[in-house]
């Protein structure tokens, strides 16, 4: 299986490293042609407005939406989650519309730049996941079809709707492979 990482801006190489550690081939996605070669896609954290603009310039936005609708598994972390959402509060431009969530950007406050917490993730073993949040968004509202996988302080920070997985935090910045293994598993 080949796994693409959208490589326009943001934390690309950390995801590639995690993919490799999970035993799969990671490929940088910069063009529509690159996207055709992969079976799954990760949209990394970074600056969602910048990634959205570049994706549009390269025509990748339309292709990602198309593949996502066809059922290709896509995992968005942080800025990636913002891009995949149906609605982003205060921003009409960013929207791939692939998961029925309303997202609030920088939702933990601008002062709280980054922090780490022990998170309980549904379906994962009892051992908490060390989640790293960086100017993170959270899910303000999730539709009926969306399964909530983790919450922090009553706010949804990880969710899934069919083939689309999103997290507010950065699993690629830890040593814990569980989130990537979950997304890359055969029966995901």
Residues of this chain that interact with ligand GLN (CB under 6 A) are 45-48, 78-79, 82, 105-106, 134-135
Q: What pairs with residue 166 in β-bridges?
A: 76, 159
What phi-psi label fits residue 178: left (phi over 0), alpha (psi between -120 and 50 degrees) or beta? Answer: alpha
Q: Which of 33, 43, 41 is nearest to 1 (CA)?
A: 41
Catalytic residue list contains 122: no
Write down the least CB distance from residue 78 to ligand GLN, Å. 3
Is the CB of residue 105 less than 8 Å from the CB of residue 81? no
Write down the least CB distance from residue 94 to ligand GLN, Å. 8
Catalytic residue list contains 170: yes
Instruction: Exactly one of 63, 104, 172, 180 is catalytic; name it.
Output: 172
Catalytic residue list contains 172: yes
Q: Which is nearer to ligand GLN, 114 or 185 (CB)?
A: 114
Write down the least CB distance from residue 120 to ligand GLN, Å. 22
> Cα(26)–Cα(161) distance, rounded to whole angstroms?
23
Show which residues are catalytic.
78, 170, 172
């Amino acid at each position: 299986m080949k796994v693409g990482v959208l490589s326009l801006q943001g934390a690309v190489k950390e995801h590639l490293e995690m993919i490799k550690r999970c035993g799969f081939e990671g490929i940088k996605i910069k063009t529509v042609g690159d996207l055709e070669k992969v079976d799954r896609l990760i949209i990394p954290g970074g600056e969602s407005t910048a990634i959205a603009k570049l994706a549009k310039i390269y025509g990748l936005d339309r292709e990602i939406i198309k593949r996502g609708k066809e059922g290709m598994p896509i995992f968005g972390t942080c800025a990636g989650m913002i891009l995949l959402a149906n609605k982003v509060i205060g921003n009409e431009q960013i929207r791939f519309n692939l998961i029925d969530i309303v997202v609030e950007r920088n939702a933990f406050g601008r002062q709280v730049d980054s922090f780490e917490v022990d998170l309980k993730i549904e379906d994962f073993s009892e051992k908490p996941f060390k989640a790293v949040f960086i100017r993170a968004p959270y899910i303000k509202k999730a539709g009926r079809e969306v399964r909530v996988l983790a919450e922090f302080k009553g706010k949804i920070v990880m969710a899934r709707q069919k083939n689309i997985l999103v997290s507010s935090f950065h699993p690629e910045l830890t040593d814990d492979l569980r989130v990537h293994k979950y997304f890359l598993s055969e029966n995901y």
